[in-house]
Amino acid sequence: MEYDRRHFLAGTGAAFFCTIAGHRLSLDQPADMSALAQDIKVPPEVAAAQGATDASSAAGKRATGAEYWIRAETMSWDIVPNGHDAMMNQRVRGKTKFSAYGYRQYTANFASPIGPATIPGPLLEVNVGETLTVHFENDVDVPVTMHPHGVFYANEMDGAYKGKFTTPGGFVQPGRRFTYLWEAHPDSVGAWLYHDHGPADPVTIFKGLFGSLIVRDPADPAPPDAEYFLTLHSLQPIATGLRQQFECINGRAYAGNTPTLHAQVGQRVAFHVVTLDNDFHTFHLHGHRWTDPSGEIIDTKVMGPAESHTFTIESEDNPGRWLYHCHVFTHLHMGMAGWYIVK
């Protein structure tokens, strides 16, 4: 068999990854999600609450604010839908479709979907002083959850699996619902992650169960003219069953498939970048510089797993077709790159 550069880079990772419910999992071998689901024990408090309704999980605590209905679903996902790497101007070989998990937004009471399930999931928005209410339903084959970063929540709203100490919000079984309440305090302003934190993570995260959450301050200046949310992450054989690993931005790999960002000269452009896998990434935007929170002028930001970074170009002044990408070279050439087009 012939190997190109991508196959060589994808084969450099360690095999053993972790153990979940007695199953030894390897990054280069697909996980059997059905077997995992059968062998994960239902925590005592979750079992005791199985007769409860969705509404009782938030009884007496609901507040005015943003409200979402989100369902975790199985879907077919193509990592490289056009089959081409526009940066290198060459075809991407091999299979790129897999059975993924995605969060999908619905209208009130899950009446009808608002678009398809996606990687990442729908953007959740809330203002300072409000409570974000998320009605969650699990329609995949393992227990999953929604766990937020950056906002305030009570212990039972954590959305995290904790073994025998798990509360119902940390173990939402297939076909069941839970309502999460998360509060947006003044120190929560900014862009954050949400993701599954159930008993099968991080495999479920590698399969697509994550998204962005932003807390806005209504007292801030006018919103930007263009705003982009980007997640740097990997899709690996343990989750995809594919022969190679892909380094992705928003579920896609290689320029022309990853988000193509657009702006015009004179516009105020905001970037919200988050990372979510086992690696460190470096977000680099060609032809531009910005000021990080320390006051340093930079054009490359180093980010560890589950970090977020926001910056704003106050007045775009450099037209052209620009690359944005991770500056870890293996990540760049395994797909973590895209176009930023300024007219």
Q: What is the pLDDT of residue 12?
A: 44
Q: For 236-283, what is each residue's pLDDT tens digit?
A: 999 999 999 999 999 999 999 999 999 999 999 999 999 999 999 999
Per DSSP, the residues of 196-258 read --STTTTHHHHTT-EEEEEEE-TTSSSPPSEEEEEEEEEE-HHHH--SS-EEEETTB-STTTS
Q: For 231-243, what is each residue's pLDDT tens digit?
A: 999 999 999 999 9
pLDDT-based confidence at residue 38 (cuts at 50, 70, 90): confident
Percent of the chain with pLDDT over 90: 78
264 phi, psi to nearest 5 deg = -125, 150
Does 55 score more than 60 pLDDT? Answer: no
Domains annotated for the chain, with CATH where assigned, are 44-342 (2.60.40.420)
Check if the beta carbon of residue 215 is closer than 8 Å to that of residue 188.
Answer: yes
Q: In this structure, what token pair is assigned to residue 118?
A: 């996606």
Dist CA 148 CA 152 (whole Å):
9
Dist CA 53 CA 56 (whole Å):
5
Q: What is the pLDDT of residue 35?
A: 82
Check if the beta carbon of residue 176 is closer than 8 Å to that of residue 163.
Answer: no
Dist CA 284 CA 230 (whole Å):
12
Kindly state the average pLDDT of the residues 180-209: 95
Q: Of 4-18, 24-38, 68-82, 324-338, give the lowest mean pLDDT range.
A: 4-18
316 phi, psi to nearest 5 deg = -60, 130
First-to-last CA distance in the chain? 44
Q: For 77-110, what is each residue's pLDDT tens digit?
A: 999 999 999 999 999 999 999 999 999 999 999 9
DSSP 3-state of 130: coil
Dist CA 274 CA 309 (whole Å):
6
Q: How do 281-285 and 320-326 pair as beta strands?
A: antiparallel
